């Protein structure tokens, strides 16, 4: 486990609060996230928002990203926190990794856990060492 600094502790609390807002009547699997972007002190919360047309469901990580981009435009992820009610870490899904990748230049840590504690840290590139991209640096 990477060192838990005060800002990570704060993000953990933000993710925990977001998890309480999870709209997940179909899976009954609540997920909360918090994402910090470089040069921005705001911690963006996200929760999963499900839909009766299941494919319309939005994961917690993507909802946090969309919140940041809606408020301040594109940015670079500094770290992310993902929580669920599971003893073992809940890993970000592949679609969320691809979306996180869109706002990533350097590798960053992803902290995982549950409402009691953080249980694991992994780096983004451990999850996704190579990723689909068609644009060169500076084109985005
Ligand atoms: N979910 C997330 O919010 N994040 C993930 O990375 C994995 C899955 C949500 C989607 C769905 O609402 C519920 O978890 C069960 O799949």
pLDDT of residue 138: 79
Residues 18-66: pLDDT tens digits?
A: 999 999 999 999 999 999 999 999 999 999 999 999 999 999 999 999 9
Ligand 1 pocket, residue 60 CB under 6 Å: yes
Active site residues: 61
Ligand 1 pocket, residue 35 CB under 6 Å: no
Distance between CA atoms of residues 126 and 99, nearest Å = 16
Per-residue pLDDT band at 2 (split at 50, 70, 90):
confident
Residues 78-137: pLDDT tens digits?
A: 999 999 999 999 999 999 999 999 999 999 999 999 999 999 999 999 999 999 888 887
Residues 121-132: pLDDT tens digits?
A: 999 999 999 998
Q: Ligand 1: which atom is nearest the Cα of residue 31?
A: 3
Provide CATH code, domain 6-127.
3.40.140.10
Instruction: Give the residue from 139, 90, 97, 95 showing the smallest Cα distance to 118.
Output: 90
Q: Are strands 31-37 and 118-123 parallel, antiparallel or unpaired?
A: unpaired
Q: Tell me, what DSSP letter sits at residue 137? A: T
């Amino acid at each position: 486990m990477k060192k838990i600094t005060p800002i990570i502790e704060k993000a953990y609390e933000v993710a925990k609060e977001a998890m309480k807002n999870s709209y997940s009547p179909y899976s009954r699997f609540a997920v909360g996230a918090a994402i910090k972007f470089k040069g921005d002190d705001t911690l963006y919360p996200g929760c999963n928002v499900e839909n009766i047309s299941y494919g319309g469901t939005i994961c917690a990580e993507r909802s946090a990203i969309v919140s940041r981009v809606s408020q301040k435009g594109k940015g670079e992820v500094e770290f992310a926190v993902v929580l669920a009610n599971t003893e073992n870490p809940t890993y970000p899904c592949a679609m969320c990794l691809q979306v996180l990748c869109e706002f990533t230049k350097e590798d960053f840590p992803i902290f995982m856990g549950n409402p009691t504690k953080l249980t694991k840290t992994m780096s983004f590139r451990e999850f996704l060492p190579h990723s689909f991209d068609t644009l060169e640096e500076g084109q985005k």
